[in-house]
Amino acid sequence: MTTSPYPLKNLLGGLSPERFLAEYWQKKPLLVRQAIPGFQGLLGQAELFDLACRDDAESRLVRTNRGRWTLDHGPFEPATLDSLPRRGWSLLVQGVNHFLPAADRLLHSFSFAPYARLDDLMVSFAPDGGGVGPHFDSYDVFLIQGLGRRRWEISAQTDLELVEDAPLRILKRFQAKQAWELEPGDMLYLPPKYAHNGIALGDCMTYSVGFRAPSSQEIATQFLVYLQDKLALAGRYADPRLKRPRHPAEIGEAMLQQIEAMIAKIRWKRTDIADFAGRYLSEPKAHIFFDPPARPLGLAAFRQQAEKHGLRLDSRTLLLFKGSHFFLNGESLRATPDTAAMLRKLADARRLEATALPDDLADILYAWYRLGYLHPAHR
Ligand code: SIN
Ligand code: CO
């Protein structure tokens, strides 16, 4: 495996992943000075502004003026962003990891948790004094300081009442209990529902590693959609011993019993749960599209390149597995044991070192390359 430019040991401030998970994860905040020593950021203000003007990026502009908050969603016109005032706003772009391979590497460096728990890397820019106000998030977050400095105030308060009529979630009564000034490369971990407020000290860029925690309702709804396609129940409504009803308009007990018995025939196995989970968790977000190569290499040339330079997953690709069952961008594939061993390496490292590829693996990888799901590593 290639060594990460962001070793976990640094990211967790010297704590072992086991200790971080046992003592901090989903429990209490952790401030890590120099989690990324010498961090310069992965993109500049101008590049972030460019992303905020793209229609395949999710961006938000938060403005505050005399205690009133406004929120606009991108894509933005370059002129809008160029004419922003000197103070009182923050621009946020979600999913920066989809656009920059370096951002994808940073996101996937948080490998103390399964990749399926990672959501995305958001990057914000704010001029002096800017921020999104005191709030809490429903998810874990690692806030990494890029450009400039930011003052983070946090509070374990249980009063999470929000300002009514505000277009974004602002805490009505935020009472800071701890505060730090973060320098480039410093990082603050916050568990879900932890109140916080970040105030830019001069021009400031913050990188937020966000996690994904679907609600039970979301999982159940999606599973029912999945099941609908898989379901094949035999039989049909029948009533050979029908009794003439007193009220023909009434839905009788016998009818309900029969419908209930039909519904009770819906069954699923653990393998269905695994297949559903893999497809669901590897499904790209709705606005994500892949760019298949305009002039694709032929199979033999692709294989030669892959064997010489290795391969890397596209930054938008989600590749997960359960045993030898692989899930790639919402699709599922069962692999033979030898192929599975190499695909697991690709899934974990998100790249495959230059190595000889067996025929069946080369075919699979070539099909994925044609879809834009992966690329020869030197590109
Ligand atoms: C920001 O980057 O300004 C917002 C990060 C957060 O508070 O979740
Ligand atoms: Co937040």
365-375 pLDDT, tens digit per residue, is 999 999 999 99
Q: In the chain, list all ranges with CATH 2.60.120.650.
A: 8-211
Distance 193 CA to ligand 2 centre (A): 9
Q: In the chain, list all ranges with CATH 3.40.366.30.
A: 299-376
Average pLDDT of the residues in 278-305: 96
For position 232, what pLDDT does the model report?
93
For position 98, what pLDDT does the model report?
96
Contact indicator for 299, 366 with CB cutoff of 8 Å: yes
**Considering the entire predicted model, what is its pTM?**
0.94
Distance 56 CA to ligand 2 centre (A): 23
User: Which ligand 1 atom is at minimum distance from the Cα of 130?
Assistant: 3
pLDDT digits (tens, 9 = 90+) for 229-238: 999 999 999 9
More confident residue, 287 or 297: 297
Rg, C-alpha atoms of the chain: 25
93 in helix, strand or coil?
strand
Say which DSSP state 242 is in.
Answer: P
For position 378, what pLDDT does the model report?
80
- C-beta of 208 in contact with ligand 1 (< 6 A): yes
Torsion angles phi and psi, residue 231, rounded to 5: -65, 135
pLDDT digits (tens, 9 = 90+) for 72-84: 999 999 999 999 9
Distance 319 CA to ligand 1 centre (A): 28
Can you name the CATH fold of 8-211?
Jelly Rolls (2.60.120)
- C-beta of 141 in contact with ligand 1 (< 6 A): yes
- C-beta of 124 in contact with ligand 1 (< 6 A): yes
How confident is the prediction for the chain on average, in pLDDT?
A: 96
Neighbours of 76 (CB within 10 A): 19
**Which residue from 352, 358, 299, 306 is spatially nearest to 1, judged by alpha carbons?**
352
316 strand-pairing partners: none
| 264 pLDDT more than 70 | yes
pLDDT digits (tens, 9 = 90+) for 100-119: 999 999 999 999 999 999 99
User: Which ligand 1 atom is at minimum distance from the Cα of 132?
Assistant: 3
Cα–Cα distance for residue pair 238/261, rounded to 1 Å: 12
**Which residue from 9, 41, 241 is spatially nearest to 149, judged by alpha carbons?**
41
**Which residue from 111, 97, 310, 89 is spatially nearest to 200, judged by alpha carbons?**
89
CA dihedral 321→323→325→327, nearest 10 degrees, is 0
Distance 200 CA to ligand 2 centre (A): 14
Number of helical (H) and strand (E) elements in the chain, helices listed first: 11, 17
Percent of the chain with pLDDT over 70: 99
| 55 pLDDT more than 70 | yes
- Give all strands (DSSP E) within 136-185, no chain letters: 141-145, 149-155, 178-182
Can you name the CATH fold of 299-376?
Malonyl-Coenzyme A Acyl Carrier Protein; domain 2 (3.40.366)
Residue 316 exposed, middle or buried by CB count within 10 Å (0-12, 13-18, 19+): buried
Residue 341 CA to its chain's centroid (Å): 25
| 54 pLDDT more than 60 | yes
For position 379, what pLDDT does the model report?
54
User: Which ligand 1 atom is at minimum distance from the Cα of 137?
Assistant: 8
| Smallest-distance ligand from the CA of 192 | 2
Residue 2: band (very low, low, confident or very high) from pLDDT cuts 50, 70, 90: low
| 4 pLDDT more than 90 | no
pLDDT digits (tens, 9 = 90+) for 124-181: 999 999 999 999 999 999 999 999 999 999 999 999 999 998 999 999 999 999 999 9
Residue of 92, 120, 144 best suited for mutating to test ligand 1, as the one with most atoms within 8 Å of CB = 92
Residue 260 makes CB contacts below 8 A (sequence gap 6+) with none
Cα–Cα distance for residue pair 207/184, rounded to 1 Å: 10
Q: Burial code of 196-220, b = ≥16 C-beta within 10 A, e = fewer?
A: bbbbbeeebbbbbbbbeeeeeeeee
Please, where are the H alpha helices in 231-354? 253-263, 270-281, 299-309, 337-349
